[in-house]
């Protein structure tokens, strides 16, 4: 029992320590952006509570963003300098005037330095690369957004790195399972754990929802399930990984399901969309736009559901930790770590549940695209 308590306290302290260390980084980043903004007005002084609230919000926003470097945590030294614990990533971007540029993200010094490349000057602000002058001047609009010219960013960011790591991990795991099955049908190694999951996807998701043609969709269903699951699990680690909480990623996954559904559909599927059988012709005309809209609502619901659930989980966990620093008393120091741990356990369930729901709904859409005509039999 004592060991379990120690493990729980150690886990929560990892989150709390990371949060405290990042607070100083948020303050420094705010000061840097202010120095770059030549048109920013002097704001009224904030109270201590408002300052903490603003810093907490900035940190949560930073946690949800993608990153050009893989920073695990940031510590502030006694002399005021910062030590970033992590490693830089390759930065690749295209500027219409100066062509392609390549460098490591460390050249930007986390947004503190202006990079000169091929005669142009560039700076990193809120994980976006802007074209600027030698002084790193950023012009802000009324909403506080930089109006400088952006570049076409093709960098290997933290999210891209985790996607590649997840893909490589899946190739290693399932490649090993495939080789072992060629030698013996008795599962060994990771197959002992993953075979029941694979059979569950085949027998309880693919077959009931797709029907006889389920085999041609199995490779996609297995890939999408484990891809989302592994990324969700990586997102539970306190390293600022939030791939499935990025709407661009969930959009790409939903787009794959949408394209596969449309390109593998039979003529009965399209007939039900454009000329619904068994209805009077005036109702067919009424139903046609509704069905066409439904084509796009289905993948939209997929991408929003995954994005919203995973982002909300990260926000809730980080907000509960932030409340410890906002209230700064014994009750908050005891209650909120406990609530954080409870929500974290719920997030573990959500990580599996969202992978299951995405796979299940994809299978349902594939089944609708392959459904045969039964109206004559019904009449």
Average pLDDT over residues 131-157: 87
Bridge partners of 120, per DSSP, are 117
pTM more than 0.95: no
Residue 11 has pLDDT above 90, yes or no: no
Average predicted confidence (pLDDT) for the chain:
81
SS3 265: coil
SS3 216: helix
Q: Are residues 93 and 192 in the same domain?
A: no
- Per-residue burial over 111-146, b if 16 or more Cβ lie within 10 Å, else e, is beebbebeebbbbbbebbbbbbeeebbbebeeeeeb
Q: Are residues 249 and 138 in the same domain?
A: no
Average pLDDT over residues 37-65: 63
pLDDT tens for each residue of 347-364: 999 999 999 999 999 999
Average pLDDT over residues 264-274: 86
Domain termination site, one of 102, 123, 155: 155
Least confident of 13-17, 174-178, 365-369: 13-17
Higher pLDDT, 239 or 94: 94
Residue recorded with tokens 């990153």: 67
Q: Are residues 150 and 210 in the same domain?
A: no
Q: If pLDDT is split at 50, 70 and 90, which confidence band does 260 have?
A: very high
Residue 24 has pLDDT above 50, yes or no: no
Say how far apart CA 250 and CA 245 lie, in whole Å. 8
Higher pLDDT, 253 or 58: 253
In terms of Cα–Cα distance, which of 241, 280, 268, 250 is closest to 371? 268
Most confident of 115-124, 238-247, 255-264: 255-264
Say how far apart CA 258 and CA 260 lie, in whole Å. 6
pLDDT tens for each residue of 42-53: 445 667 667 777
Q: Are residues 204 and 343 in the same domain?
A: yes
Question: Which domain range does residue 59 map to?
Answer: 2-155
Domain termination site, one of 155, 183, 213: 155
Residue 280 has pLDDT above 60, yes or no: yes
| CA dist 74 → 70, 179, 249 (Å) | 11, 43, 27
Q: Which pLDDT value is given to residue 40?
A: 40
Q: Are residues 96 and 185 in the same domain?
A: no
Q: Which pLDDT value is given to residue 46?
A: 65
Domain termination site, one of 129, 155, 181: 155
Q: If pLDDT is split at 50, 70 and 90, which confidence band does 236 have?
A: confident
Higher pLDDT, 20 or 230: 230
Strands (E), 307-350: none
Average pLDDT over residues 108-133: 87
Q: Which pLDDT value is given to residue 217?
A: 94
The two three-digit tokens of residue 234, written as one number: 């990586």
Q: Which pLDDT value is given to residue 301?
A: 92
Share of the chain above pLDDT 90, in %: 34
Q: Which pLDDT value is given to residue 334?
A: 83
Q: Are residues 194 and 338 in the same domain?
A: yes
Q: If pLDDT is split at 50, 70 and 90, which confidence band does 86 have?
A: confident
Q: How many domains does the chain have?
A: 2
Q: Are residues 250 and 300 in the same domain?
A: yes
Sequence-distant (≥ 6) Cβ neighbours of residue 206 within 8 angstroms? 214, 217, 218, 221, 363
In terms of Cα–Cα distance, which of 34, 288, 222, 47 is closest to 146? 34
Q: If pLDDT is split at 50, 70 and 90, which confidence band does 366 have?
A: very high
Query: How many CB atoms sit inside 10 A of residue 346's CB?
Result: 14
Q: If pLDDT is split at 50, 70 and 90, which confidence band does 223 have?
A: very high
Measured in degrees and rounded to the nearest 5, phi and psi for residue 75 equal: -115, 145
Q: Are residues 53 and 151 in the same domain?
A: yes
Q: Are residues 195 and 143 in the same domain?
A: no
Q: Are residues 171 and 297 in the same domain?
A: yes
pLDDT tens for each residue of 94-120: 998 889 999 998 888 877 889 899 888
Q: Which pLDDT value is given to residue 17?
A: 39
Q: What radius of gyration do the chain's Cα atoms show?
A: 25
pLDDT tens for each residue of 297-356: 999 999 999 999 988 888 888 888 888 877 878 888 888 888 888 888 999 999 999 999
Q: Are residues 141 and 266 in the same domain?
A: no
SS3 244: coil
Alpha helices in 37-157 (DSSP H): 48-64
The two three-digit tokens of residue 258, written as one number: 């949408």
Q: Are residues 118 and 242 in the same domain?
A: no
Q: Which pLDDT value is given to residue 63?
A: 67
Residue 6 has pLDDT above 90, yes or no: no
């Amino acid at each position: 029992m004592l060991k379990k308590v120690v493990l729980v306290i150690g886990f929560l302290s990892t989150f709390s320590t990371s949060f405290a260390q990042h607070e100083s980084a948020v303050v420094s980043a705010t000061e840097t952006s202010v120095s770059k903004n030549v048109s920013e007005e002097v704001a009224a002084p904030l109270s201590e509570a408002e300052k903490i609230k603003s810093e907490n919000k900035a940190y949560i926003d930073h946690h949800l963003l993608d990153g050009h470097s893989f920073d695990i945590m940031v510590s502030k030294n006694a002399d005021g300098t910062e030590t970033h614990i992590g490693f830089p990533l390759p930065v690749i971007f295209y500027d219409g005037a100066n062509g392609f540029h390549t460098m490591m993200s460390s050249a930007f010094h986390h947004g503190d330095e202006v990079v000169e490349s091929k005669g142009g000057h560039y700076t990193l602000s809120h994980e976006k690369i802007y074209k600027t002058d030698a002084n790193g001047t950023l012009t802000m609009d009324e909403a506080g957004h930089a109006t400088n010219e952006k570049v076409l960013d093709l960098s290997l960011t933290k999210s891209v790195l985790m996607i590649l790591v997840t893909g490589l991990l899946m190739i290693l795991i399932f490649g090993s399972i495939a080789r072992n099955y060629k030698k013996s049908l008795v599962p060994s190694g990771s197959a002992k754990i993953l075979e029941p999951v694979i059979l569950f996807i085949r027998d309880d998701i693919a077959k009931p929802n797709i029907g006889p043609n389920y085999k041609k969709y199995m490779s996609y269903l297995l890939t999408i399930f484990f891809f989302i699951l592994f990324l969700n699990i990586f997102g539970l680690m306190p390293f600022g990984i939030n791939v499935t909480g990025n709407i661009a990623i969930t959009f790409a996954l939903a787009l794959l399901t949408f394209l596969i559904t449309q390109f593998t559909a039979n003529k009965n599927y399209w007939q039900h969309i454009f000329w619904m059988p068994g209805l009077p012709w005036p109702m067919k005309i009424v139903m046609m736009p509704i069905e066409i809209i439904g084509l796009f609502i289905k993948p939209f619901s997929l991408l929003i559901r995954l994005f919203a659930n995973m982002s909300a989980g990260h926000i809730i966990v980080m907000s509960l930790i932030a409340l410890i620093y906002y209230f700064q008393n014994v009750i908050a120091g005891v209650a909120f770590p406990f609530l954080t741990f409870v929500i974290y356990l719920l997030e573990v369930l959500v990580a599996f549940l969202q992978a299951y729901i995405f796979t299940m709904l994809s299978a349902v859409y594939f089944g609708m695209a392959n459904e045969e005509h039964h109206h004559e039999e019904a009449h």
